[in-house]
Structure 1
Amino acid sequence: MTLTDSPSLQIRTVNVTRYVTPLREGGSMPAIAEADDGFLYVLKFRGAGQGHKALIAEIIGGELARSLGLKVPELVFAKLDEAFGRTEPDEEIQDLLKASVGLNLALHYLSGAITFDPTVTKIDPLLASQIVWLDCLLTNMDRTARNTNMLLWHKELWLIDHGASLYFHHSWQNWEEQAKRPFVLVKDHVLLPQASQLEEVNTNFSSILTPKIIENILNLIPDEWLNEDIFQSSQAQRDAYALFLNTRIAHSDIFVKEAQHARETLI
């Protein structure tokens, strides 16, 4: 059964058993960690700079990508015990672990994967258009030549790190209006030069992402991460995310035209 025809979704929960190594190139200092299922994960901490909002964006971005048929490592909830990390000698890491006790988020570690390099690997125009469309929907500013957030694994392109998406939710200021705005930062998207099939993708993807798909994905977000004071309940905050995404999909021609205009200046 695929995501798009499933009535509900689930994310597995694992317990972190071993901190392996920090990934200091990440702004929020994620880490490679081992869990009680025997697998390695890239662990994203709720106690990092952007807190649970980055984890919410990671769930929404990752599962939207998966629903559209794009490759994304499995997402799991990762529990961090209070006693974990007490022997960690690095004070900065120890503080991060203490601030992240409880439920965090992790992505399956793709062992042997290499960072996508646009000067070495050329991407099919359809796939490039699909990724650009998704990032315009998500207002994902973090897929540039400097930081592509894409990996090549077993000769396939995998998307990682959507934590910088949906930047409106860091303030929720004029968020209803922002849902209809173009994504001007698409001009810096690493795949924009190859994205020649945006109109075709827009027609296809807009029909796939139904309100039910959006609802199923948003229901994955733990209530404890939905605690904005401006909302009366966690469900009210979910409803706001749903309205933003559904409105943005309904007005996708706006961000597609912006992307096409930006692309014309590059080619």
Structure 2
Amino acid sequence: MSYKQPELRTVHVIRYVTPLREGGSLPAIAEADDDFLYVLKFRGAGQGTKALIAELIAGELARALGFRVPEIVFAELDPAFGRSEPDEEIQDLLKASVGLNLALHYLSGAITFDPIVNTVDARLASQIVWLDCFVTNVDRTARNTNMLIWHKELWLIDHGASLYFHHSGQPWEEQARRPFGPIKDHVLLPRASELDAVDAEFRSVLTPDVIRSIVSLVPDEWLTNDPSVESADEQRQIYIQFLETRLAHSEVFVKEAQHARKALV
């Protein structure tokens, strides 16, 4: 599997189209100066820039592993943007999000993956389950699959709930080696019967260079948004070391997933 160094474009948001009232983050469909529509994720939302960091790192890791992920771009929000917005909640969000945000290309006409209607084979199911164990993504359940069918192909979206170690305040070293208990609720777990083979494949793809090149994409200003944290370089190293440690101990989360699957099938 070939891997190309990711390069993220920067667009400027010119029009707020409509909110996507999902959870507490209140993303929106917005138009940028390249005439494309994007799903805009705001730095001023509840989880702040950490959700954007997770979206960027997990999304680009997924792309490196061969999954279909909408193009991720940086999205600049001008201070004057949203002044005419009548909804006070949205206006406050826009004011708090001036500067660099994150956006994903809007897949117009895509439909939400429905596990009753849509099926995936065991290999793909195992690959997605492995990815979500690796990045500790708690948000791929039957209630909220965060997968779309677009042009008859499966696309992965919404990885902002990944890497939740950076919210916990607990030592990252311990969390990097832990199994991933929430995998028991994963929508594709019952079909994930090839985890050992996928583990071997994906461990060979995610080299230190791949991990480091993806983490290097995170802007310094997102890493230093909290004055209590270390420097941007030190924070970046934590993400790199967390991912490298987790990959080195992948048998822990693979066994947990296999154990959880046996309880279901």
Q: TM-score, normalised by structure 1?
A: 0.97
How far, CA to CA, are the matches of 1:229 and 1:211 in structure 2? Answer: 29
After superposition, what is the alpha-carbon deviation per residue over 1:54-107, rounded to whole angstroms, capped at 9, x for unaligned? 000000110000000001000000000000000000000000000000000000
Q: After TM superposition, which residue ranges in structure 1, 4 or more long, deviate above 2 angstroms?
A: 228-232
Instruction: Describe the shift of the 1:179–1:230 C-alpha distance in structure 2 as closer, same or farther (beyond 3 A).
Output: farther
Number of the residue aligned with 2:244: 246
The 5-angstrom pairing of residues 57-96 of structure 1 reads: 57-96=54-93
The 5-angstrom pairing of residues 226-265 of structure 1 reads: 226-227=223-224, 228-229=226-227, 231-265=229-263
How far, CA to CA, are the matches of 2:190 and 2:68 in structure 1? Answer: 21
Shift of 1:27: 2.6
The yes-or-no answer on 1:205 pairing with 2:186 is no
How far, CA to CA, are the matches of 1:239 and 1:229 in structure 2? Answer: 17
Unaligned runs of 5+ in 2: none
Instruction: Describe the shift of the 1:237–1:110 C-alpha distance in structure 2 as closer, same or farther (beyond 3 A).
Output: same
Shift of 1:229: 4.7
Number of the residue aligned with 2:40: 43
Aligned pair partner of 2:123 in 122, 126, 139 = 126
How far, CA to CA, are the matches of 1:87 and 1:223 in structure 2? Answer: 31
The yes-or-no answer on 1:99 pairing with 2:96 is yes
Identity of aligned residues (%): 72
After superposition, what is the alpha-carbon deviation per residue over 1:112-165, rounded to whole angstroms, capped at 9, x for unaligned? 000000011111110000000000001100000000000000111100000000
How far, CA to CA, are the matches of 1:191 and 1:40 in structure 2? Answer: 29
Aligned pair partner of 1:161 in 144, 148, 158 = 158
How far, CA to CA, are the matches of 1:117 and 1:37 in structure 2? Answer: 32
Number of the residue aligned with 2:184: 187
Number of the residue aligned with 1:9: 6
AA partner of residue 137 (structure 1) = F
Aligned pair partner of 1:54 in 51, 66, 72 = 51
Shift of 1:233: 1.5
Shift of 1:173: 1.3
After superposition, what is the alpha-carbon deviation per residue over 1:18-41, rounded to whole angstroms, capped at 9, x for unaligned? 000000124300000000000000
What root-mean-square deviation, in Å, do the aligned CA atoms of Structure 1 and Structure 2 show?
Answer: 1.2
AA partner of residue 97 (structure 2) = S
Shift of 1:230: 5.5
Name the stretch that deviates more: 208-217 or 226-235: 226-235
User: Secondary structure at 1:60's aligned position in 2?
Assistant: helix
Unaligned runs of 5+ in 1: none
Instruction: Describe the shift of the 1:173–1:230 C-alpha distance in structure 2 as closer, same or farther (beyond 3 A).
Output: farther
Name the stretch that deviates more: 217-226 or 169-178: 169-178
Q: TM-score, normalised by structure 2?
A: 0.97
The number of equivalent residue pairs is: 264
User: Secondary structure at 2:183's aligned position in 1?
Assistant: helix
